[in-house]
Each structure stands twice: as C-alpha cells, then as structure tokens.
Structure 1
C-alpha cells in the first residue's frame, strides 16, 4: 500500500509539473500565486514544483519580481521533437535562407488542440532583439499563423476550435466578431497570405503563408514577424511574395506539386 501511494504521489507530481509548464507556455510568465491558483495547490507546493523545474533549467525567474517563465533547458528537448517533424527537417534550409534574405524572424507553427504552437524559428543576421517563440502556445484568432491554419480547416472543425478557445480581445485590434473573422479567413484562402497587425501584441506585426503536405493539406504556417515600427503594412506587402515563395518551396519539398 505504501509503495502504491508513493507511486501515485509521484505521478501526481509529474502531472502537476507538466501543468506548470503548460501554464507558463500559455501565459508567458507567472508568479507562484498564479501557478498555485491555476493548479489548485498551496503556494508552498507550487514553489517546490517551480524550484524543481528551475533546478533542471526548465523554468527560470523572469525578473526580480518573482515571475517565472520557460527556461532554456527546454530547447534541447524541443529541438529533439522539432527534428523529428518532417516539415522542419525538409523546410529548415528554406526558412533559414528566408530569414537571412529578409533579416527578419521566421517561425514555423502548427495546430495543437485549440492553440498554435511554434515548433522552430530562424532569425536574420540583422535581428537585434526578438521573442523566442519556440514552444509558445498562441491563440488562433489573432495571429497570422492561427488564421492560416484556421482558414484551411473544414467549417465544422473551425467552429469547434473557436468555440473551445473563445475569441478574447487580447489587444484593441483583435478581431472578436466571428463574421469578420470568417470574411478575413476567406481572403486568406484566396490570397495565400494572412496578416496580424498588432492583434496579438501591441507593437508586433506578422504575416503567414500555408505549407502543405504531399496531399495538399495545410499542415503548418510559415510566419515572418517583427516590430510594428519597422514591419508596417507597406513592409508586409513587400514580404508577401518571398514569404509565399518560401512556403511553396517547403510544400514542394514535402511532396506537394501545385497544379
């Protein structure tokens, strides 16, 4: 009985630790009290969990305010998964070259439940400071990658995911009207390009194009992002052609030859 109890307790600790990582992936950063409230444990338990994760480099303290965020210890783990994904294996030379050519941050994102998860990133040589998006869960309705992935789902699945996720107004520019989003997604399907103008984060703009598998199904979004002061609507229009070309080349390497 004691062995079983210890085993069950260990499993519970693992479950809670995974929940903490998921919370930090969703929120970006959180304090001990926030984590404790999310997983419904005492603050001392949350503190011990965060301490254990910090000891392995999986989380780190973001500031002297006691906030925690995901740590660099996750990068080798994420990289091992990323390398097994065919879209990154086949596409990495393409988007690394795109990042070098454009001097901007390039991300590859896929659908995970009712979120978008960024699975790989390449930065141009002129990029001074940028977000580390790898492993970050972002909303579907207010990101360029999310719009690309939503646009190519069947209507029933799209409605199901949006109902599960909601359409929270993350910034004043976030689209929260389903009819307005549907109209924009129709345009994404027509043009092969989605944009997000400070919809997910003030000061951040992005554009994305779809990547297809050998059957022509959209499996990922290729995204370019940067600060709004540099990547304005004019710049996004300039980036549209090379971005779509890179996404098409990635699709070709995945086995999809467009008619």
Structure 2
C-alpha cells in the first residue's frame, strides 16, 4: 500500500522539461565531440581528410562533417577546398588576444628565461597555476643534446614533480587530500614518494625553504628545481620558474647554484613584469594554510 501511495504521489515530469533536458544533453555531447575534433586538428602535423578526422575521433563521418562545418563557421577549423582537407583555424591555434595578460607576460618573461638558460645551461620553464592546474607559459631548451620537453598543460604527477610539490606545499591538508588522495601514492619510478607521511614532511620543508626539487621521481633520469612566483599579499604561489635537466647534467652537488639562479629569475620577474599585477587576479590563490 505504501508503494502504491508513493507512486500516486509522484508527479510526471512535464514534456517541456524532458525536451529541454534532452536538448541540454545533446548540446553537451556536441560540445565534447567538437572539442575532440579541435584537439585532433591542433595536434596534427598536416591537414587531415574527413575520414582521417572521423577515425581519430571515433565519430561517424556524417557527425564529423556537421561538426567541422560548425567549427569552421566560428574560426576553429579551416577547410582547404583544393585538397578537401581540414586544419586547425586561427581561433584554435591562437585563442588568446595578442594583448591578453598571459600573452603579454610571456613576452615580458622571455629575456628573463633566456638569461636563466645562459646562466645554468639547463632547460628553463615558466609555469602559471590556474586553479590547481599547471599551465606552461613558455620554456627554452638548455645546452644539453637531450633536453627535457614541456607540453602546454603539465599533467605529470603532483607528488613526483617540482612544480607539483610547490603547488601542494601551500595547500591546507584537506585540500591537498582532495587533489592526490590519502595514499599510498602511485610510484612512477623507484624514487617516487608514495608514503603520505614522508610526502607531508617533505612538503613542509618545501614550504619553509621556498623551493622544490624532484630528482628522478616522475621520470628516472629527469631532475627539476622550482622556485615559486609569489606576490607579497598572496598566501600561495601564482606559479613557478623551473630549471630542469638530466641527472648527469645536473648532479646533486650543483643543485644549490641552480636554486639560487631560479630564485633570482623569480625576483626579477616579480619586479619587472607589469602583467603579473593583472594575472594575480585570475590566478588568485585560496586561503592561507
């Protein structure tokens, strides 16, 4: 009887709301598939045919063609009519305006990064923390033949990288746990810290000394040193400057010199980059831990 009464009390969902929900789901699906296509085209080394785009996205050709047409209308895709091929459009290749604070900051930071490469001989990168994500603003290769490579979006493990440790070190314990869990953490190499207590102790050291080092913790032969970009009024870093190399080219005995150089580069950026005053508003960090 109770079940019958509960069924009787349930109100049917109006057809208009069901239709709206269906349209919203379809729109989200189209957006996701459209972003897939943009990712494929921006990663491609040459123009792609319709069938190649469809194959790489896993979509059928009719859906792919419809989305390509919509994306081309908005400048995210360009069609080469003579070859019947597609390539990424201007809005996909350069989505930010030339005078966006991030674009301007990249130009302002270039001489500082180049000078840091000359001083250390190592690969140097500039990273901004967007929320809890790490965005590479720019990087310059070092003098060694096998230089580290950086993608635009750093997705390397937070607990095994210098930039990740800097990001974690200024977070409260509860917020840190939401990001990386309670442990044990995944081991990417023999040197990766997997024990939560050991990682917590190391992050406390990072917080106190104002820099982080990761030696073979994400990749066996990779060493990185990171110094935080911090406004005096901020409770957490906006990003960091990274000096990275192979273990052979950056032995432990040379770490102190690279740390000093990275911190000097950060100080120069903080004092000479007007764009940082704008960027601080949209890379604003949370509460002090």
TM norm. shorter chain > 0.5: yes
Aligned to 2:125: 107
Name structure 2 gaps, 5 residues minimum. 1-21, 44-54, 69-76, 78-84, 281-289
Report deviation, 1:229: 1.7
- Is 2:176 aligned against 1:163? no
Report deviation, 1:212: 0.9
Q: Deviations over 1:169-194 (max 9, x none)?
A: 12221111111111111111121111
Aligned to 1:229: 248
Measure the CA separation in 2 of the matches of 1:241 and 1:15.
44
TM-score, length-normalised on structure 1? 0.67
Tell me the secondary structure at the aligned position of residue 138 of structure 1.
Answer: coil
Aligned to 1:18: 35
Q: Deviations over 1:45-90 (max 9, x none)?
A: 25977xx8994269xxxxxxxxxxxxxx999537768963275454
- Is 2:259 aligned against 1:240? yes
Alignment RMSD (CA, Å) = 4.1
TM-score, length-normalised on structure 2? 0.61
Report deviation, 1:13: 4.1
Measure the CA separation in 1 of the matches of 2:241 and 2:122.
13
Q: Structure 1's 184 and 7: CA in aligned 2 closer, same or farther, altered over 3 A?
A: closer
Structure possessing the higher radius of gyration over alpha carbons: 2
- Is 2:223 aligned against 1:210? no
Structure 2 counterparts to residues 50-199 of structure 1, below 5 A: 55-56=86-87, 76-77=93-94, 84-85=101-102, 88=106, 90-112=108-130, 114-124=132-142, 126-130=143-147, 131-163=149-181, 167-199=185-217
Tell me the secondary structure at the aligned position of residue 170 of structure 1.
Answer: coil
Name structure 1 gaps, 5 residues minimum. 29-41, 59-72
Q: Structure 1's 132 and 161: CA in aligned 2 closer, same or farther, altered over 3 A?
A: closer
Counterpart contact for 2:166–2:211, Cα < 8 Å: yes
Q: Structure 1's 97 and 161: CA in aligned 2 closer, same or farther, altered over 3 A?
A: same
Counterpart contact for 1:117–1:138, Cα < 8 Å: no
Does 209-218 or 190-199 show the bigger shift? 209-218
Q: Structure 1's 205 and 22: CA in aligned 2 closer, same or farther, altered over 3 A?
A: farther
Aligned to 2:238: 219
Tell me the secondary structure at the aligned position of residue 150 of structure 1.
Answer: helix
